[in-house]
Amino acid sequence: MEPLSNYSGCGLVRGAKPRLLLPALRRSPLTCRVGASSLAAVLSLWLCLLPIPVPSSENVLESSTPTPSARAKNAIAGENPESVIGGLIQQKRWNEAVDLAETFTRKKPVNPTAWYWLGIARLRLSDPVRAVQALRSAEKLGLDTALLHGGMGLAYYDLNQFFLFEQQMEKAIELDPQDATPLFYLGRYHEIIRSDISRALVFFDKAMQLRPNDARSVYHKGSCLERMGQRDEARECYARAIRLVEAGQQGFGWPYQGMARLLIENELEQAFEFARKAVAVEGNEYSHHLTLAKVCERRRDFREAIRAAQVAANLNPTSSTARYTLFKLYREVGDDQASQKELNMFQKLKETYGPE
């Protein structure tokens, strides 16, 4: 099952709380009760995790950019400093965005847009407490948009404030009922945190009604169906998600892993090809390598299985499953020393973090 991680594709590291994924997004302008003029430069993003080109009128960042302090001074002196902050957010330059937004909010503390950007940048820097503070400041100044409440919901999620997370996502849905993103988040929340697969399916179906070509919603519906034992229906979802991934050239390997999981028992060679494809598409996800290791073990290709399992362990050093897989593989090839080492590591990780 795909972890709740950030949308860079990184796997869930045990010992840390899951992070929410972000599906492909559409654009919709931010609006504010205090008037749209102060928000003209704001770009519609859910945490800006997808590279959406900045309109030319807002593309104020040159290839040789000044230092953050100089940028802050120059931006605040200009007419649209929000566009500069938005440009930094677009480029995922979180620290610089925080530097500029903090400077601007000190100069003009009544600007809700700057507080919003500050909250989003802090959230991406894993600072949910101060992210909530900044986003609430934006709300108190009149900003009341789906994007604001969605961002605040993600911050509450990081703080384990799940009731507030749900509340904010529901508010986002109320403000923008055509946006599938909060529905997707609620589906993931019920799938992972609540383990309510039936409820998760309801949200994924609603998200797919609004955005039928979102490979992530389709995949997660399949994952829920797989967990419910509906393997044929799950396979249909995975096949559809794969077509969407390949049509959009997305770096999303989970549908291939899903197919490998389904086929490992009865269609081993196809499972092998799908497992390899998952690794090729999304190589920084440790569980893809772990799935490849398990498929190679079934094929009695222990050398390749060990290599894949070691990659998985390197990508996620706290994965007890990866260590146990290596223990079995080394034992299979008769390397008692390596096998014992991996067993010791497995036991230590299980004792520290509990079962995976």
151 CB-near residues (< 8 Å, 6+ apart): 46, 47, 116, 119, 120, 123, 131, 135
Q: What is the pLDDT of residue 207?
A: 98
Q: What is the DSSP letter of 266?
A: T
What would the mean pLDDT of 31-37 be, rounded to a whole number?
A: 33
pLDDT band at residue 12 using 50, 70 and 90 as cut-offs: very low
For each of the domains in the chain, give its residue range(s) and CATH number, in order of start: 24-179 (1.25.40.10), 181-250 (1.25.40.10)
Cβ pair 183, 173 in contact under 8 A: yes
pLDDT digits (tens, 9 = 90+) for 52-64: 222 222 222 223 3
48 CB-near residues (< 8 Å, 6+ apart): 89, 90, 92, 120, 124
pLDDT digits (tens, 9 = 90+) for 296-335: 999 999 999 999 999 999 999 999 999 999 999 999 999 9
Bigger pLDDT: 177 or 38? 177
Alpha-carbon distance of 221 to 238, in angstroms, equals 9
What would the mean pLDDT of 81-85 be, rounded to a whole number?
A: 80
Q: What is the pLDDT of residue 82?
A: 76
Cβ pair 152, 182 in contact under 8 A: no
Kindly tell me if the per-residue pLDDT of 110 is higher than 80: yes
Q: What is the pLDDT of residue 249?
A: 79
Q: SS3 for 18-42, per residue? A: CCCCCCCCCCCCCCCCCCCHHHCCC
pLDDT digits (tens, 9 = 90+) for 178-193: 999 999 999 999 999 9
pLDDT band at residue 236 using 50, 70 and 90 as cut-offs: very high
Alpha-carbon distance of 194 to 15, in angstroms, equals 18
pLDDT band at residue 86 using 50, 70 and 90 as cut-offs: confident
Q: Check the CA dihedral 325-323-251-172 and report its sign.
A: positive
Across 110-138, b (16+ Cβ under 10 Å) vs e yields ebbbbbbbbbbbbbbeebbeebbebbebb
Cβ pair 320, 350 in contact under 8 A: yes
What would the mean pLDDT of 247-269 be, rounded to a whole number?
A: 95
Bigger pLDDT: 113 or 22? 113
What would the mean pLDDT of 112-140 be, rounded to a whole number?
A: 96
pLDDT band at residue 74 using 50, 70 and 90 as cut-offs: low
Tokens for 137?
């400041």
Most confident of 1-5, 81-85, 220-224: 220-224
Q: What is the pLDDT of residue 1?
A: 59
Q: What is the pLDDT of residue 291?
A: 98
Kindly tell me if the per-residue pLDDT of 25 is higher than 60: no
Q: What is the pLDDT of residue 160?
A: 95
Q: What is the DSSP letter of 16?
A: S
Q: What is the pLDDT of residue 354?
A: 86
